[in-house]
């Protein structure tokens, strides 16, 4: 697990862009943290790093959006759906087969996700301060995420 401090929205966006460089088809990234922590902003940075031109917005109401970058990016927010369980999990995984799956509040459905994933938890501090915890699980333990704390 690594911890990356963020002092501003720009820092969080930049971390997302760098994280995108580690992503491969089939990857699952679960985003955790309170409302307003910066999950969607981090997702926007990842999308930028993946070459997505479109503006990334919160998928809260539509639940899931797909963007075309160097890899397809499937961005979901399961805040309201956690209780639906496995059905949702399977659909998301299928949708993101050839791309990257990014799920806000994904920690709530981690048990239905593949064991190989990156869990990112954004901890809120004073004002704009955040601490972004990156916890590789399963095969993600072999990825060079330490690069991101440099």
Q: Which residues of this protein are in contact with ligand ADP, per CB under 6 A? A: 6, 8-9, 11-12, 33, 35-41, 58, 104, 128, 130
Confirm or reject binding of residue 12 to Mg ion (CB under 5 A). Answer: no
Taking the complex as a whole, the smallest distance from the CB of residue 40 to Mg ion amounts, in Å, to 3
CA–CA dist 72, 66 (Å, integer): 7
Taking the complex as a whole, the smallest distance from the CB of residue 58 to Mg ion amounts, in Å, to 4
- Pick one of Mg ion, ligand ADP, none as the site partner of residue 9 (Cβ within 5 to 8 A by kind): ligand ADP
Residue number with CB closer to ligand ADP (98 or 129): 129
**Residue 90 · residue 117 · CB < 8 Å:** no
Give percent helix, percent strand, percent coil of the chain, each to the nearest 5. Answer: 35, 30, 35
Which part of the chain contacts Mg ion (CB under 5 A), choosing from 12-20, 25-33, 57-65, 111-119? 57-65
Q: What angle do CA 93, 97, 101 make, to 5 degrees?
A: 60
- Pick one of Mg ion, ligand ADP, none as the site partner of residue 65 (Cβ within 5 to 8 A by kind): none
**Residue 31 · residue 39 · CB < 8 Å:** yes
- Pick one of ligand ADP, Mg ion, none as the site partner of residue 38 (Cβ within 5 to 8 A by kind): ligand ADP
Phi/psi of residue 33, nearest 5 degrees: 135, 155
């Amino acid at each position: 697990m690594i911890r990356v401090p963020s002092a501003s929205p720009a820092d969080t966006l930049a971390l997302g862009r760098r994280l995108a460089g580690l992503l491969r088809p089939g990857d699952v990234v679960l985003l955790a943290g309170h409302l307003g922590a910066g999950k969607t902003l981090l997702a926007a940075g990842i999308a930028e790093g993946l070459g997505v031109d479109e503006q990334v917005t919160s998928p809260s109401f539509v639940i899931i959006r797909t963007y075309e970058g160097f890899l397809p990016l499937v961005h979901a927010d399961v805040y309201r759906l956690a209780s639906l369980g496995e059905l949702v999990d399977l659909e998301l995984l299928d949708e993101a087969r050839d791309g990257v799956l990014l799920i806000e509040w994904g920690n709530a459905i981690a048990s239905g996700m593949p064991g190989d994933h990156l869990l990112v938890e954004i901890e809120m501090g004073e004002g704009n301060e955040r601490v972004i915890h990156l916890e590789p699980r399963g095969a993600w333990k072999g990825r060079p995420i330490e690069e991101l704390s440099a």
